[in-house]
Amino acid sequence: MKKGLCLILCMAMLTGCIAAAHAAVVLDEDQALQYVLDEFEKIAAIPRPSSGTDAISDYLYQWGLDHGFASVQDEVGNVIWDVSATPGYEDAALTALQAHMDMVVVSEKPGWDGVVTLILTEDGILKADGTSMGGDDAIGIISAMYLATNEAVVHGPLRVILTINEEGGSPSGVGNLDHAVVEDAAYLVNIDSEDYGTVTVSACGFGGYVFSGELAWTDVDPEGKVAYAIDLNDLAGGHSGVDIHKNRANAIKAVDYCMAWAKYNGIQVQLSSFTGGTGMTAIPKVANAVIVFDAKDEALFAELMDKTIGLFGDQFDRTEAGYSFAYAPVDVPEKALSVEESAKLIDLVAAVEDGVNTISQRYPGITETSFNVGTVSFTSDSDQMFFMVPMRLSSAWPALLANMQFTAIANAFGYTMSVSDDVNLGWVEKEDDIIAEYYAQAFKEYTGEDCVITAVHGGLECADFAEWNDNLQIISVGPSVIGAHSTSEHIPVNTIVPTIGSIGTLLGYIAEGALD
């Protein structure tokens, strides 16, 4: 879900290149916005984390039935509504509107129950109270609701596809969807992008490198030993695709550096615990480690940490604010890894790549491949080590290089890792598709503004749909969703209705046969 900006074509280049289409849809914009806010309040009241979508699935299935749609809820919880065409447009091509139900759950509130409290500020910003908001992708669901029910929107036959667990978790929504849902469709509009005024035609794939091995925890003799906790909290975090290029700190890498630097300077570190991150698709904003070492090195450790924390502040003074980075003595724990095994784990996390890897040559300014060390959990509760380094990619060659890079790292540290040469590049645009150009015209006609055609360094379910129907023309659009997957997530409400109106105008073009 999820976008960087890359100007490929603007409306000035498109004018005269596509057939004339009918006038823009006319919406009561105040009514449309109120509809969105009302429906968002209802959805926000339903907890819907990845792997916890049963309640929202039931709600949406019943909503479709209540509005007279032919509705299906499959065995994993995906919901499909078939919406009859506007009278007179029954023979138009079938168009699918698609969004996902789940949200990334991030909270500043201990014990949060998953119910989102929405706040609309006086300057028109929709946000949540201390949690992620789930605008990714509630706004897509609600846009589809409005387009399917508002009589001002002229459309041919519509199919609304609402999937579970797009952000992660199990079971996969799109992975268990009947391919027939798009086999008879000509067009698909995914409403899961996050930059207003853009239309996405390509998205990256997602893979990962999993390191595994055994952990041998040993009893700690507290004599002559001290223990310290290193804590980093409240970083900006963000989406591991669209925010990866923004020079935001990775809490896991920062805390690991503290331990690696202590080790490098001769302190015999024993790792008692190391945890961090909230999910593979989120830049980690929190990490914690507890280490044990000789009491004689306590002054040196303090000197190293003070310098490291200061340098961290210098590096991230423009991108991070309000964070807490500290170290403090704690009781010596009962269990820890040996000095040698601790060194292996600390060096492994230090060695793996994080952040932007390559920049696209096809879409200037767009990240082509990247890594995000999203989670870590090394504790005495488990004797097995599993450490995953996810990769976003839209080109095969950097992935092949990464295969060898991470194989070399695994070999060097004595861990096990498997790689595959079957690279998933995600969703790649087709040169003959015209739907993006028509959406750009619809956007111009509805808003009076130019629209850009772009790629995105994020995962979209469009990749799966494209595999199931070679003739399906696909775009991804949406209003601005800023800070998705974080507690700073918000939507400027003045981007919502213009996006809905532009999609509605495109549906009118399709109903009239302009794209045939």
Secondary structure string (H, E, C) spanning 12-62 = HHHCCCCCCCCCCCCCCHHHHHHHHHHHHHHHHCCCCECCCCHHHHHHHHH
Residue 430 pLDDT: 84
Q: Distance between CA atoms of 1 and 100, rounded to whole angstroms?
A: 10
One domain, residues 29 and 63: yes
Question: What's the number of domains the chain is made of?
Answer: 2
**What's residue 421's pLDDT?**
64
Distance in angstroms (rounded) separating the CA atoms of residues 485 and 240: 9
Q: Is the same domain home to 385 and 495?
A: no
Greatest Cα-to-Cα distance within the chain, rounded to the nearest angstrom: 85
Residue 1 lies in a domain: no
**Spatial CA neighbour of 505 closest among 432, 438, 411, 453:** 438
How many Å apart are CA 138 and CA 25, to the nearest integer? Answer: 23
Distance CA 16, CA 440 (A): 13
Look at 241-255, 290-304, 355-369 and tell me which has the smallest mean pLDDT: 355-369
Model confidence at 9: pLDDT above 60: no
pLDDT tens string 12-39: 334 344 555 567 899 999 999 999 999 9
Using the Cα atoms of residue 437, residue 443, residue 445 and residue 450 in order, give the sign of their dihedral: negative
CA atoms of 455 and 67, how far apart (whole Å): 35
Give residue 93's pLDDT: 98
For residue 192, give the CATH number of its domain: 3.40.630.10
What the block records as the tokens of 503 is: 């999609």
- Pick from 281, 119, 106, 95: nearest CA to 191: 95
480-484's contacts with Cβ under 8 Å and 24+ in sequence apart are 480/194, 480/195, 480/196, 481/135, 481/136, 481/139, 481/194, 482/194, 483/238, 484/1, 484/2, 484/104, 484/132, 484/135, 484/136, 484/194, 484/238, 484/239, 484/242
pLDDT(513) > 60: yes
Segment 338-363 shows an average pLDDT of 94
What is the Cα–Cα distance from 242 to 181, expressed in whole angstroms?
29
The answer to whether residue 173 scores a pLDDT higher than 80 is yes
Cα–Cα nearest to 261, from 226, 310, 304, 228? 304
Q: Residue 193 in 3-state DSSP?
A: coil
**Looking at the domain assignment, is residue 5 inside a domain?**
no
Q: Are residues 120 and 194 in the same domain?
A: yes
CA distance 442 to 120: 28
Tell whether 308 is covered by a domain. Answer: yes
Q: Which residue has the higher pLDDT, 362 or 52?
A: 52
For the purposes of burial, counting CB atoms within 10 Å of the CB of 322, is it exposed (0-12), middle (13-18) or buried (19 or more)?
exposed
Between the CA of residue 320 and those of 37, 306, 480, what are the distances in Å? 31, 18, 21
CB distance 327 to 345 below 8 Å: no
Rounded percentage of the chain residues whose pLDDT exceeds 70? 95
Burial classification of residue 466, based on how many CB atoms lie within 10 Å of its CB (0-12 exposed, 13-18 middle, 19 or more buried)? buried
Mean pLDDT over 492-515 rounds to 97
3-state DSSP helix/strand/coil percent for the chain, to nearest 5?
30, 25, 45
Would you tell me how many other CB atoms lie within 10 Å of the CB of residue 302? Answer: 13
370 and 433 within one domain? no
Torsion of CA 391, 394, 396, 398, to 10 degrees: -50
Does residue 503 sit within a domain? yes
Average pLDDT of the residues in 405-424: 87
pLDDT of residue 437: 96
Looking at the fold, whether 216 and 345 belong to one and the same domain comes out as yes
Please give, one letter per residue, the 3-state secondary structure of 57-124.
Answer: HHHHHHHHHHCCCEEEECCCCCEEEEECCCCCCCCCCCEEEEEECCECCCECCCCCCCCCCEEECCCC
Distance, CA of 165 to chain centre: 11
Encoded tokens for 274: 């190391």
Residues 197 and 262 in one domain: no
Per-residue pLDDT band for 10 (boundaries 50, 70, 90) equals very low
pLDDT at residue 422 in the model: 67
Range of the domain at 300: 206-417
234 vs 110, 130, 313, 485, 487, CA distance in Å?
Answer: 14, 12, 13, 14, 10
How far is it, in rounded angstroms, from Cα 497 to Cα 142?
11
**Same domain for 88 and 140?**
yes
Check which CATH number belongs to the domain holding 304 and give it. 3.30.70.360
* Same-domain check for residues 17 and 159: yes
Q: Are strands 376-378 and 270-276 parallel, antiparallel or unpaired?
A: antiparallel
What are the φ/ψ torsions at residue 127 (nearest 5 degrees)? Answer: -145, 180
Hey, which residues does 358 pair with through a beta bridge?
369
The answer to whether residues 188 and 214 belong to one domain is no
Q: Are residues 353 and 430 in the same domain?
A: no
- The stretch 225-249 carries a mean pLDDT of 94
164 in a structural domain: yes
Examine the pLDDT at 361 and tell me if it is beyond 90: no
The answer to whether residue 182 sits within a structural domain is: yes
> Which of 417, 444, 473 finishes a domain?
417
Question: Are residue 432 and residue 412 in the same domain, yes or no?
Answer: no
Indicate whether 516 belongs to any domain. no
- pLDDT of 16: 41
- Residue 453 pairs in a beta bridge with 199
Rounded CA-CA distance 400/98 in Å is 32
Residue range 176-203, pLDDT digits in tens: 999 999 999 999 999 999 999 999 999 8
What is the chain's mean pLDDT, rounded? 92
- What is this structure's pTM? 0.74
Tens digit of each residue's pLDDT (9 = 90 or more) over 78-122 = 999 999 999 999 999 999 999 999 999 999 888 999 999 999 999
pLDDT bracket for residue 425 (50, 70, 90): confident
Domain end (from 417, 450, 474): 417
Which of 373, 347, 357, 388 has its CA nearest to residue 209? 388
Q: Which residue has the tokens 């909270």?
A: 107
Query: For 282-326, what is each residue's pLDDT tens digit?
Result: 899 999 999 999 999 999 999 999 999 999 999 999 999 999 999
Q: How confident is the model at residue 4 (pLDDT cuts 50, 70, 90)?
A: very low
The length of the chain is 516
Q: State how far the alpha carbon of 303 is from the alpha carbons of 355, 417, 430, in Å.
A: 28, 37, 57
Structure tokens at 430: 């087709």
* Same domain flag for 451 and 464: yes
**pLDDT, position 126:** 98
DSSP secondary structure letter of residue 303: H
Confidence category of residue 435, pLDDT binned at 50, 70, 90:
very high
Last residue of a domain, one of 353, 388, 417: 417
Q: Work out the percent of the chain whose per-residue pLDDT is above 90.
A: 82
Q: What is the pLDDT of residue 402?
A: 93
CA distance 388 to 190: 29
Q: How far apart are CA 148 and CA 142, in angstroms?
A: 10
